[in-house]
Amino acid sequence: MKLSRFGKKFTSESGILSLMDDLGNALAGEQDMIMMGGGNPGAIPEIESVFKDRLQKVLDDPRSFRQLIGVYDPPQGEVSLVKDLADMLKRTYGWNISERNIALTNGSQSAFFMLFNMFAGESEEGGHRKIQLPIAPEYIGYADAGLSDNFFTAAKPQIELLNGNLFKYHVDFGALKVSDETGAICVSRPTNPTGNVITDQEVAHLDQLAQLADVPLIIDGAYGTPFPNLIFTEATPHWNENTILCLSLSKLGLPAVRTGIVIANEEVIEALSGINAIINLASGSFGAVLVQDLVRSGEIMSLSREIVQPFYQQRAEHAVAKLRSCLPTELPYHIHKPEGAMFLWLWFENLPIDSQALYERLKQRGVLVVSGHNFFAGIDEDWRHKNECIRVTYSQQQDLVDRGIEIIADEVKKAYLGQ
């Protein structure tokens, strides 16, 4: 095929493509793989029951059923849900928003593709703007979302060592450079892959930098507040006219419905809706219709707080305890303090092999993780830390996660022993 630059870019090697290929091939293969690589949410019976009951009500109501399958929504998304979301957030947090501040997309990945390329890339003035990641590692799905090369800049984090083989990343504001080339600042909270939750003070500082530079602060809240609230520490929800807050229904338990939610000022929402119309014509209605009653009543918040969040916090605590029981204390391993999301970020300091080699060895033993080097978009320098980390998902069936951790620990011990 004679491909365009676009075609070559989006068919070449990428971290997110490799991850999704591995997951698909593992599911289709004959070997029973322990899936600890992807971000698929766990099966929570109470949540599945809520959605099953809600779906049945939709099926039994001719008007709702027609809305589910037979009506194009406007480019901004299903009108009733957008209004109900605005009402709920205004009521809960006092945010000065209306339905003109919210748009729905076909999943968060689609939202970030549109937003990133709205604010970064070649400008009309002839310059080249970039997305500034204030801390890396960051989400693997960002790395290849830009339509041009040299799309991201990122700052290495400050590393705070904690007791119990834990550590925590902090934004290094001394190393963070917001310049005329910055098109937007973007951070995930909690962070995928590390489970880090940047503090309220860090959010406030980033917001200040963004406003001074007259660029938006994009907060990826796919795992965060106000829902699905996979946060195990204190974190105040943040939004203002200069903030673009991106939410999702995936980690609530609906990854297959592909519903992203963008909250921003009216100018951004109007522009995003126009791009959405060109790329997608309309966003899918399934997620919007399914959760509308939960949003209108505010139940989506209580479900997140009382069922979803405790489920993942228990899984996180169990996974950390299991890992500590399997790895000797004398090995120089570190676990990023699990403050949210559904991952353990493991740092094996001075590991004799790199993280990609460890990934390959684990794959041969039937355990899928993700090599850490995929998560450092915007940091091109040869920093050894990038190749000493792996991301491990703990959301799946607990006995399989336990077995996977045992195999990870065994391979890590062998690697340190030179085996």
CA distance 269 to 272: 5
pLDDT at 15: 59
pLDDT at 116: 95
- Per residue, the 3-state secondary structure of 282-336, as one string, reads CCCCHHHHHHHHHHHHCHHHHHHHHHHHHHHHHHHHHHHHHHHHHCCCCCCEEEE
Q: What are phi and psi of 321, to 5 degrees?
A: -60, -40
Could you tell me the CA-to-CA distances from 389 to 14, 63, 329, 350 in Å, in that order?
18, 51, 18, 10
pLDDT at 192: 93
User: Which domains does the chain possess?
Assistant: 5-46+303-416 (3.90.1150.10), 71-298 (3.40.640.10)
Going along 269-363, which residue ranges are E strands?
A: 333-336, 343-348
Amino acid at 285: S
**Structure pTM?**
0.92
pLDDT at 32: 78
User: pLDDT digits over 264-282, tens only?
Assistant: 999 999 999 999 999 988 8
Which residues, given as ranges, of the chain have pLDDT below 50? none
- DSSP type of residue 72: P
pLDDT at 281: 86
**Collapsing DSSP states into helix, strand and coil, what is residue 27?**
helix
Nearest Cα neighbor of 230 from 258, 195, 187 is 195
pLDDT at 6: 76
Is 5 buried (19+), middle (13-18) or exposed (0-12) by CB count in 10 A?
exposed
pLDDT at 327: 95
